[in-house]
Amino acid sequence: MSNGIRPTAYPVTGYKTASSQRGIALITAVLITALISIIAVTMISEQQLDIRRTGNILDRAQALQFALGMETIALLALRKDAENNKTDHRMEDWGKPVQFPAPDGAEGDMISGRIEDLQGRFNLNNLVGKDGIIDTGQLQQFKRLLIELDLPPGLADRVADWIDSDSTPQGMDGAEDGEYTRLDPSYRAGNTLLVSPTELLLIMTGEEYQKLEKFIAVLPGRKKTKININTASREVLASLDYVTAADIDELLKQREQLEKQNNKGFDKISEVFDLPGFKTLKSKQGKFEKYLKDNCDVVSNFFLASAFAQFDKGEVRLRSLIQRTTSKKKTHKVYTVLRTQGDY
């Protein structure tokens, strides 16, 4: 018999609580597994990148050693040339490019090199004498070279101002600190010898530099260097004073004939005075003979060795400025003055 009071019903929760805990544990385990997987993949990826990076560094280091080997070959070739020859011309062995496969390299890996006579170019450091004052004769010669290349002759004043020791602009087109400090970013004129031709990019546009770079050199020291008539280009020879385009054509024709028939160039600077045009200049211009001997020669002391080496994924372009000297005892020394990877 009921007294009218119903029993209180309580939910059974034990099963659901255990089930929820197992679900949370499963989710946690999945998350931990995923996290560990992500960490493992990241570590493996970074390890692979490290291996590749290390491999690239080793390949480039090997390529650099090959390039330095080409520089050594250039030094030996120039030393041997000095011991066996008294002149420098375009037909010599050192002037021939070389190329061969890289030892122990993959297919296509190679080493190549060539040597150029830098005294076949105009030396920009000749613009200023030992006293730090602009050499007007060299300045005019540089202006003639610029005209030959269809460049503004006023650039010569700016380059000379960059090298000379004072802070006074040269002529109407010169420039010193007053102009460069107004630029953004600002800088000051070097007021010392150039170290690399690329410094000209601080003075002229990239387009102007590209037209000029193959005809100029920056050689160390304040001692004036001479132009080698056996290796100089038409444009550089045309920058000389007194001579006309016809005179240069005559010289180049004779030089080409010597190269083809005798495998050599001029043996002495005095030989050019046997050419009709130069003989006339010698007789009519009293200072011409001395001028030519003071500014030109058939021997060179500065060279540019360019080497390229490829080993697997490593590539190196090395350029070395080489100087060759001869002592009074006829002992020849050849050494690297400047070494750079990239542009000279």
Q: What is the pLDDT of residues 31-41, one digit of tens each?
A: 888 888 888 88
pLDDT for the residue numbered 75 = 97
What's the full length of the chain, in residues? 344
Strand order in the sheet with 302-311: 98-101, 110-117, 302-311, 314-326, 332-341
**Integer Cα distance of 251 and 219 in angstroms:** 26
pLDDT for the residue numbered 63 = 93
pLDDT for the residue numbered 29 = 83
Alpha helix stretches (DSSP H) within 164-202: 177-180
pLDDT for the residue numbered 5 = 61
Q: How buried is 173 (Cβ within 10 angstroms: 0-12 exposed, 13-18 middle, 19+ buried)?
A: middle
Q: How far is CA 75 from the centre of its chain?
A: 18
pTM: 0.85
What distance separates the 2 farthest-apart alpha carbons in the chain?
155
**Confidence grade of residue 229 (pLDDT, cut at 50, 70, 90):** very high
pLDDT tens per residue, range 169-184: 998 999 999 999 999 9
**Confidence grade of residue 64 (pLDDT, cut at 50, 70, 90):** very high
Q: How far is CA 318 from the centre of its chain?
A: 8
Q: Which of 28-42, 116-130, 132-146, 242-256 has the lowest mean pLDDT?
A: 28-42
Q: Please, are residues 59 and 320 in contact by the beta-carbon 8 Å criterion?
A: no
CA distances from 268 to 83, 88, 332 (A): 18, 11, 20
